[in-house]
Structure 1
Amino acid sequence: MSSAADPGVQSSAPGWINSLMDTLGAPGAGIAIALENLFPPLPSEVILPLAGFAASTGQMNLIAALLWTTAGSVIGALALYGVGALLGRERTIAIASKLPLVKVSDIERTEAWFAKHGTKAVFFGRMIPIFRSLISVPAGVERMPIPVFLGLTTLGSAIWNTIFVLAGYLLGENWEDVVGYVSTYSKAVLVMAVLGVVAFIGVRVMKPGAGTRRKS
């Protein structure tokens, strides 16, 4: 049994992730990260340092781990970009207009914000849990030029992945120490997102005529 599959040092990793890396090496880590982009609840904070630990034991090459995990991030992001592009602006507005407390003007303001700050959002969003996956959808809806999207996604993903792969590589069997810090960061982001939604709902509910159209 390989070192990366030793249950004594891998209690945080789902079995299928261990199997992918044991069987495929660095490409397995890339596949796991691509899936993590499509399904945000999957633990990137486990996959990346685990890949680094596997590289420290010689199970995979460190550079290959960095390249494959970044490639996985880009592939997953492209898939979600495609979802946004297929959804398109008109469908997005149609869906939003049917949601309680959401107005078309909200979508228009979001579009204006994305037109102004979209490049920064895509780049820095790759380093924020949950949003690192979701940011690809509005980029697709707004049809951000694919070369720009790919460049920003690759650079942002490479920075995020390198930090955690190297952390796992340097920590060795103590790679799980990274998980606690990233989990705290992820929970803080989630709490802020929930508070933002609650604040939005509160403002809309308390505002006279919220969610209704005024008759002329």
Structure 2
Amino acid sequence: MSDWILGLIEQSGYLGVGFLMFLETVFPPIPSEVIMSLTGIAAAQGRIYLPFAIAAGTAGAMLGNILWYLAARALGHDRLKPFVKRHGKWLTVNWKDVEKAHRWFDRYGVWIVLVGRVMPTIRSLISVPAGLLDMRFRNFVIASTIGTAIWTTLLAVAGYKLRENYADIDQWITPVSNIVLVLLVGGYLLRLILHKVDLD
């Protein structure tokens, strides 16, 4: 897989980097950790220029982020209500929770999206609530671009510095990703239990 990614970057250059990051954001077959760290290696080998590669990766990811945002925005806040009423038991949310989240996004949406973009697992999902909860498009783009640029820069620079030892990146990214995933699942299970208690 790594040889294929490096080959695509070598053949297509910055367009290849952007395409891979777009693909990862829309339908993640390959994690960004692999794509951008290998991009950093390609830059270290002189195949591409690191700042341009980071810009290409950020742009590709942003196209995917905007696509998800627009899809969620098209679904709309109002259309969400029947879905929440029907499946709220398993979602562990009710309409009051949605309205509360809406107010949070109105007040802190920029920071929620910006921080979410640099958190493994969450970073690819944050576009959906931002769109559903009617976050202003301009604010979404600004916060997402900053957060995505930070994420792609960290990964690309790590690959650039470690060169062929890019597997070392997994030694700190994978545990963080697993911790975030465990917290998300644990939080959901806790909410599910408490939600059932409230219903009883």
Query: Please, what TM-score do these two structures have when normalized by structure 2?
Result: 0.91
Structure 1 CA distance for aligned equivalents of residues 97 and 136 of structure 2: 23
Give CA-to-partner distance per residue, 1:92-121, whole Å, 9 cap, x none.
122111105142222122212222221111
Relative to structure 1, the CA distance from residue 41 to residue 105 in structure 2 (aligned partners, 3 Å threshold; closer, same or farther) is farther
Cα gap change, 1:18/1:93 in structure 2, threshold over 3 Å: closer, same or farther?
A: farther
Give yes or no for contact 1:45–1:183 (8 Å, CA) kept in 2: no
Q: Which runs of 5+ in 2 are unaligned?
A: none
Is 1:157 the counterpart of 2:145? The answer is no
Which amino acid in 2 is paired with 1:163?
L
What is the Cα-based RMSD across aligned positions, in Å? 1.7
8 Å contact kept, 1:52–1:165: yes
**Is 2:17 the partner of 1:26?**
no
Greater share of residues in helix: 2
Within-5 A mapping of 1:158-173? 158-173=149-164
From the CA coordinates, give the structure whose radius of gyration is larger: 1
1:137 equivalenced with 2:128 (yes/no): yes
Question: Could you tell me which residue of structure 2 aligns to residue 188 of structure 1?
Answer: 179
Seq. identity, %: 36
- Contact 2:43–2:49 (8 Å) recurs in 1: yes
Report whether the alignment pairs 1:99 with 2:90.
Answer: no
Worse overlay, 134-143 or 148-157:
134-143
Alignment match, 1:113: 104
CA distance in 2 between counterparts of 1:199 and 1:166 reads 38
Unmatched 5+ stretches in structure 1: 1-12, 210-216
> Matched residues in 1 for 2:4 and 2:141: separation?
28
Which one is further off, 83-92 or 112-121?
A: 112-121
Match of 1:56 in 2: 44
Query: d(CA) in 1 for partners of 2:63 and 2:17?
Result: 13
- Match of 2:184, as an amino acid? A
Matched-pair contact (CA < 8 Å) for 2:69–2:128: yes
Per the alignment, residue 194 of structure 2 pairs with 203
Compare 107-116 and 79-88 and name the one that shifted more.
Answer: 107-116
Instruction: Report how many residues are paired.
Output: 197
Q: 1:146 is matched with which residue: 137, 142, 160?
A: 137
- Worse-matched range after superposition: 56-65 or 33-42: 33-42
Match for residue 9 of structure 1? Answer: none
Aligned pair in 2 of structure 1 residues 148, 18: CA closer, same or farther (>3 Å)? same
In 1: Cα distance, 2:30 partner to 2:84 partner? 27
Contact residue 44 and residue 163 of structure 2 kept, 8 A: yes
Secondary structure, counterpart of 2:30 in structure 1: coil
